[in-house]
Structure 1
Amino acid sequence: MSTLTPEAALALADRHWRVRGEVRALPSYADQNFRISGERGDYVLKVAHPSWAYVGLDLENQAMLTLAAREPSLQWPRVMPSVDGGHLLSLRMEDGVRHVRLLSFVPGMTYAEAIEAVLPDHRPALHESLGRAVGLLIRGLAGFRHRAAGRVQDWNLMNLPDVRGEIAHVEDAALRAIVAAQVESFCAKLPAWRTQLPIAVLHNDANDLNVIVALDGQGGGQVDAVIDFGDMCTSFRLCELAVACTYAMQHEADPVACAQAVVRGCLALCPLQRAELEQLHAFILARLCHSVLMATRAHREQPDNPFVLVSQQGVRALLRTLAGTDPNAIVAPFLEACHE
């Protein structure tokens, strides 16, 4: 894949969006992203990897446009129209046609960075604000439809059965036993859940690097934005809440209290069914197991890459803790309340 220089990226932004300013490349797993800072604000020019299909990127754009219109109280990356009115351009480059778009840059610290600056007695409020952000995601995407929303996505919990073969490669025997038990239980219940639990189009990745926090300067902070729509899929609505809980809990000495605050914030804006809440514990465990298995596969494929397992310490510690926790510990305070 040819590499676009920052200067060439700035020329594209000027030609198609009339955006000028200082430009610098941003880290990205597969795409090429460039931050452009000018008089009209800060933007991110995103040049998609050649493997990305136009329809999948359009799904992300349409979701961001929908959320901006329906739920403006939270920041979402704004999709910027080009001079000809388009929001996703297919431009011919040296290595073929590449899909290019311009989004607003969302300022702030990631949750993973901000949590270290938030004082302990302010953390419950931060957790509740995370829950409210999840509620806005669920509420804002309710009824959203797109022809690419059914795309196969590795991180869709509905596809957890596809990585069961990795269980045998988990080296830690005690951890392997936990993963095997949780995954087999989850997969056995999947057929029934497909008929019993609400299914929707999801962001599916409100992790601690995709949630943006605004600090208040007094030891507290509030979730201000959610970014990175690259893992969107159609799955159980409950996954949106389970994913957010999974990553927030890893930063806390009392993960159950953390998750309770997240749930409280979510339910304040978006009631869920009792049947969903009753399965939250199982879905959090499944997401943790999914992470273990995906990392195990990546490690087998790239044994010399130390970064493949860099986030696994927190994942595995939380999995061990929750596997021995009462399944209703998180949701017990909410089960008797009125739900949708």
Structure 2
Amino acid sequence: MAEQNSSLLEPGVNIRPVIDQDGVKMLAERLYGICVLELKELNGYDDKNFHIKEDPNVKNPLIMTHCPNGYVLKIMNAMDSQNLAVVEAQNEIMNFLSTRSVTCPKPIRNVFGHMFSTEIINNKQHVVRLLEYVPGELIKDAPKTEALFYQLGEFVANLDGKLQNFNHSGLVSREHMWMLTKVPELDKFKYVIKDQDKLDLAEEVIEEFKYAVVPRLDELEKGVIHGDFNEMNVLVAKKPGGGSSDYRIAGIIDFGDIQYSYYVFEVAIAMTYMMLLTGDPRTGGYVLAGYTVTRRLPDDEYRLLKILVSARLVQSLILGAYAKEQDPNNTYVISTEKANGWELLRKIRKSKPNPEVTDPTDWKTIANEYLTRS
């Protein structure tokens, strides 16, 4: 079995926390003085997340301002728990954005006055922290309209604009398998794909990323990005007085993948997950339209979008299959596969120009067409 001394995930290492609900309740009481009334496990990839509501009949003087919607107790995976500078950056970025009109979770100090602590759980070190629970509907459950995807693109661009003023030393050298720059490292995990046709497709994308993207990285604009605008991390809300399908983007959660990386990666990741929601490659164009209204995307970066989207799909499919092999009970990790990720990947890779119809992966043209008629 691989050792856990690398900053990157290695095959054979299970990094997810192992803890039962009684253990979670004890952590909440010992670290935050919370007497748990309700406890529900939330979806998580490598981390464990629990929505906690405290018993209102038990006075807790340790939390000065009580959150009416409850809290999320986050137990980070054993690998990310080794990099405390990144944990500090995650806490600081949430505080930074919440003071700049972005709805997102905020960390809460524990009994020692700290934003997190390191605890031994099942013989492994895990960072534990408490966040305010942000209520809201997820974009995956909202009506899938062109206007909402356009708004998401705007939201992503605006967030990246705000983050231009955020810096943290913990992010400069961060290494993480979910970074798009780590797509070449997927060679170590691709053994989990047993279907030869799927494996051939994944290898094709990985190889193209190596020769088409990696040599160009120094040319791309960099900054701090969220890194994971997926269907489970974007909050939406109904517009006041709007119809049943009239929603707006309301906020963002889960800052576990923040990184100092490339802005074009941010928009490519957001496009990928919204296309997975609809199964339609054209959806990426609506996200791109909203993004480019706020942030300019250079022509040479437009040309990278197809391989970047393909690479994110392959990354999610391979790492999802690997995580499922490590923890068969965690069905959340194969959400990309369940959303027909392989089918979407084939559509994107095999799309052929038709002079009579706009190519569904010609996202720049689709974006311009949307902006023209809006």
Into which bin does the TM-score normalised by the smaller protein fall?
A: 0.7 to 0.9
SS in structure 2 opposite 1:291? helix
Alpha carbons of structure 1 residues 35 and 208: separation in structure 2 relative to 1, 3 Å: same
Q: What 5-or-longer segments of structure 1 have no aligned partner?
A: none
- Do the aligned partners of 1:175 and 1:320 also contact (CA within 8 Å) in 2? no
Give the aligned length: 324
Q: Distance in 2 between matches of 1:163 and 1:96?
A: 26
What's the counterpart of residue 30 of structure 1? 47
Q: Distance in 2 between matches of 1:143 and 1:164?
A: 36
Residue equivalent to 1:289: 314
Q: Which residue of 2 aligns with 1:311?
A: 336
TM-score (norm 2): 0.74
Tell me the C-alpha RMSD between the 2 structures: 3.3
Q: Residue 365 of structure 2 aligns with which residue? A: 332
Report the Cα offset of residue 269 of structure 1: 2.5
- Assess, with a 3 A threshold, how the Cα gap between structure 1 residues 111 and 40 changes in structure 2: closer, same or farther: closer
Instruction: Compute the displacement of 1:205 (Å).
Output: 0.8
Unaligned runs of 5+ in 2: 1-17, 57-65, 354-358
Equivalence for 2:227: 204
Note if contact 2:174-2:259 (Cα within 8 Å) is conserved in structure 1.
Answer: yes
Alignment pair present for 1:185 and 2:200: no
Question: AA paired with 1:126?
Answer: L
Aligned to 1:44: 72
C-alpha deviation, 1:6, in angstroms: 5.4
Specify the SS of the correspondent of 1:242: helix
Alignment-derived partner of residue 145 in structure 1:
167
Q: Within 5 A, what are the aligned runs for 1:1-340?
A: 3=20, 4-5=22-23, 7-12=25-30, 14-15=32-33, 22-27=37-42, 28=44, 29-36=46-53, 40-42=67-69, 43-49=71-77, 51=79, 52-53=81-82, 54-70=84-100, 72=101, 74-81=102-109, 86-90=114-118, 99-114=127-142, 118=143, 123-149=145-171, 150-167=173-190, 170-216=193-239, 218-252=244-278, 254-256=280-282, 258-298=283-323, 301-302=325-326, 307=331, 309=334, 311-313=336-338, 314-325=340-351, 329-332=362-365
Could you say what secondary structure the match of 2:108 adopts? Answer: coil
Q: TM-score, normalised by structure 1?
A: 0.81
Query: How much has 1:31 moved relative to structure 2?
Result: 3.0
Deviation at 1:262, TM superposition (A): 0.7
Counterpart code for 1:179:
A
Q: Distance in 2 between matches of 1:169 and 1:23?
A: 37
Q: Taking every aligned residue pair, what percent have the same amino acid on both sides?
A: 24
Deviates more, 1:20-29 or 1:58-67: 20-29
Of stretches 211-220 and 223-232 in structure 1, the one that deviates more from structure 2 is: 211-220
Structure-2 change in CA distance of 1:93 and 1:152 (3 Å): closer
Q: 1:169 to 1:23 in 2, by over 3 A?
A: closer
1:267-316, CA deviations, whole angstroms, 9 ceiling, x for partnerless residues?
Answer: 223223232222112211111122233234446x4496683645314211
